[in-house]
Amino acid sequence: MAKYMLIMRSTDEAFAKFAAEVDFTEMLETMGKFNDELIRAGVMLAAEGLADAAEGVVVDFTGETPVVTDGPYGETKELFNGFYILDVASQQEAVEWAKRMPLMSGSKLEIRRVPSIDEFPQDNEYVLRERAWRVENGQL
């Protein structure tokens, strides 16, 4: 099994249309049914939506020192709206789940594998500290 992150993205226009046209209760019901499928299949490890981008901040590291600005991020082409982390057998299985997700028109899902701590150098002091922390917190 491997972990894959499904990153939900939508354009500004698609998100605005969604907010104006979709009943929140209906959206909760639709996503709830999908989440229930993931839970019953035993593949969902985490799933979170995000608050409005206007409530966020950006820390920009392009200059000599980090610059913090309020959201929503100036010129946005796509907003990161939320994510799932699935524990599945393959990237193809993650793709199959992603294709079933009830998302708004204008959305995209980026799928990225989440490397295991075992893939990092095991003689590194900080990897060892993180491993100990994960064991202590029941993550390994």
- The domain total for the chain is 1
Residue 28 lies in a domain: yes
| pTM of this structure | 0.82
Residue 76 lies in a domain: yes
Q: What is the mean pLDDT of each run of 10 residues along the chain (140 residues)?
A: 91 80 86 94 93 83 90 67 94 95 84 93 94 92
CA distance 36 to 29: 10
CA distance 129 to 134: 9
In the prediction, which pLDDT does 77 show? 65
Q: Among residues 9, 4, 1, 24, which one has the least CA distance to residue 94?
A: 4
Residue 33 lies in a domain: yes
Residue 59 lies in a domain: yes
Residue 87 lies in a domain: yes
In the prediction, which pLDDT does 74 show? 57
Q: What is the CATH number of the domain that holds 77?
A: 3.30.70.1060
CA distance 94 to 131: 26
Q: HSE on the CB side for 34, CA within 13 Å? A: 16
**Residues of the domain holding 91:** 2-112
